[in-house]
Chains A and B, each alone.
Chain A
């Protein structure tokens, strides 16, 4: 039997799922249960001791969630994954395995505003310090490395600006520094960019966005690339040293190239608790089955809308990496040749006031704080997602006062042009 490599669309439908062992159900069942009975006392002890494969309690693992986990791991090309309650929970669980008070993370300055808040305020309270670097200036990452650096964090396609990050260049900095590169791949989805192929060691997602794709379920996921040697230099004792809560087993020694995903599950998720509801896992799994179809339509529509806006009299600039001549067009051709994603910003000649008016006058675009929905969405970051930042930080993160962010849906593009045109001229 020769191994044939299934394509992305086949994996999006099949990976991780198999007809149910007891009923033969073909769709993945929603295992809406908190707990799972043990065969006997020895089985229970083996499961608790991480010696056997199996289910204990939905806070630690659930069969519906496991299908989602394997599917995203397969799509990203990782060794394992762990689904959690949200993208923010994914970031928290990842860093809890890597960071101790006084440690540092280098993060790209261009991040989702919620992540900037999480890193700046919540994580600081844990004693985890963040050093900001500019993804357009790779040397700024090198300069930020200190003996306390434990990880580098970037977005593959940055929110809200839609700019494309040079993942390979930053992966080289991480390798040299001996720390893992964490890539938030939410806006690209593995359909457009597979960060592991470019040197990422850990990939995180808000599943809420394009993977789920329908704006109906929160979720997050952590994908272990299996690429990082946690025992080297003894910098990551959670993975290399005996774990007292599991009879002294060493996670990397026991689980090899998926030890990080196991650490996130049996230490992070177990102890911090942000478990994903199996119902949400089911909704997101259903969404993923059409990811390739949706993502291509999102990108095609986004490019058409970006072109439309570029020629509009009320618009001063459009930042879409898919446009020839855009600052990020070369990086887009390299990293995301199928499309530049569906989230981008544009600037209005009328400034802040015009941004607020546009948002109020749109009839088809929904004004809300999400991206990656089938529906087209609009927000004015300066007054919402990025409002906590000062003006300088707003500009640096791509959320200047005259900037409007769009997340283009899968509607008919002519209807999107018409709605934008009427609102810009209102």
Chain B
């Protein structure tokens, strides 16, 4: 699996397929990216579970915080890790001990741990690193285009008017080879040349 660039189809199949998402490192502080990614995904219909031992007893959008993945009372499809790269491995190890295990490990924008990814993939899980599910959902649905972002998708169908709790279609035609952004290619080139 090439984690420098993902096909849109790969990301699309994950976001279309998962229903429940546990967010490790979710923050109740409403200016933190984890807070508004959580809120966005909840508004788009995902069953969101906030995981953060520091906030047990509180709730995020009406969902009570749990201390750890083991404390979740139902199977989880995806674990979205909002932690620095150095804290990824223990979360992945904990995820792999769950029964049933999750289908997807997603590491947030800026987070990447190739060894943890390898471990999860060896156990049959799909892995995404250094991406934000909110951004990817907004991009593939073209909702993000309202900000001038290149969604790298086309559609000749009438756009939906997004409302609360509404799932948007992610099945627009992708272009640009369906690869992820130039940044990854460039970062790679940069490492190679300097």
B is a partner of A: yes
Residues on A lying within 8 angstroms of B by beta carbon are: 1-6, 10-11, 14-16, 18-22, 24, 39, 46, 49, 51-55, 61, 63, 65-67, 69-70, 73-74, 77-83, 172, 175-176, 196, 225-229, 246-249, 253-258, 261-262, 265
Q: Which residues of B110-158 have CB atoms within 8 Å of chain A's CB atoms?
A: 110, 130-132, 135, 138, 142-152, 154-158
Q: Is B91 an interface residue (CB 8 A)?
A: no
State in angstroms the CA–CA spacing of A265 and B39 once bound together. 23
Once A19-B159, A66-B148 are accepted as A-B contacts, the answer to whether A14 and B154 lie under 8 Å apart by CB is yes
Residues of A within 8 A of B138 (CB): 53
Contacts of A19 on B, CB cut-off 8 Å? 156-159
Chain A residues with CB under 8 Å of B110's CB are 253, 256
Residue contact B152 to A74, C-beta cutoff 8 Å: yes
Minimum Cβ distance to chain B for residue A424 (Å): 46
- The answer to whether the Cβ of B52 comes within 8 Å of any Cβ in the partner chain is no
A258 touches B158 (CB 8 A): no
Is B85 positioned at the interface, with any CB of A under 8 Å from its CB?
Answer: no
CB distance from A73 to the nearest CB of B (A): 4
Q: Give A125 to B141 CA distance when docked, in angstroms.
A: 44
Known: A3-B175, A79-B181. A15 touches B154 (CB 8 A): yes
From B35, B109, B178, contact of A253 by CB (8 A): B109
Q: A61-B148, A80-B150 in contact; A52/B194 too (CB < 8 A)? A: no
Given contacts A21-B158, A79-B181, 6 further A-B contacts (CB under 8 A): A4-B173, A54-B146, A73-B150, A257-B183, A257-B184, A258-B150
**Chain A proximity of B39: nearest CB distance (Å):** 7
**A22 CA / B161 CA spacing, docked (Å):** 7
Residues of B with C-beta under 8 A to A61:
146-148
Residues in A neighbouring B143, C-beta threshold 8 A: 53
Is B31's beta carbon under 8 Å from chain A?
yes
> What's the least CB distance linking B135 to chain A, in Å?
7
**Neighbouring B residues of A52 by C-beta, 8 Å:** 36, 40
Q: What is the CA–CA distance of A19 and B161 in the complex, to the nearest angstrom?
A: 12
Measured between beta carbons, the chain B residues less than 8 angstroms from A226 are 181-183, 186
Q: What 1/0 flags go to B165-194 for Cβ under 8 Å of A?
A: 000000101111110011110110010011
Query: Known contacts A5-B177, A21-B159, A248-B31; is A81 also within 8 Å of B142 by CB?
Result: no
A258 and B171 alpha carbons, distance in the complex (Å): 22
Pick from B33, B150, B151, B173: contact of A254, CB below 8 A: B33
Q: Is the CB of A69 within 8 A of B148?
A: yes
Give CA–CA (A248, B142) in the complex, Å. Answer: 27
| Cα distance A261–B183 in the bound complex, in angstroms | 13
Inside 8 A of A20's CB, which chain B residues have their CB? 158-159
Contact A18 B175 (CB under 8 A): no
Q: Check if A3 sits within 8 Å of B174, measured CB to CB.
A: yes
The answer to whether B9 has its CB under 8 Å from any CB of chain A is: yes
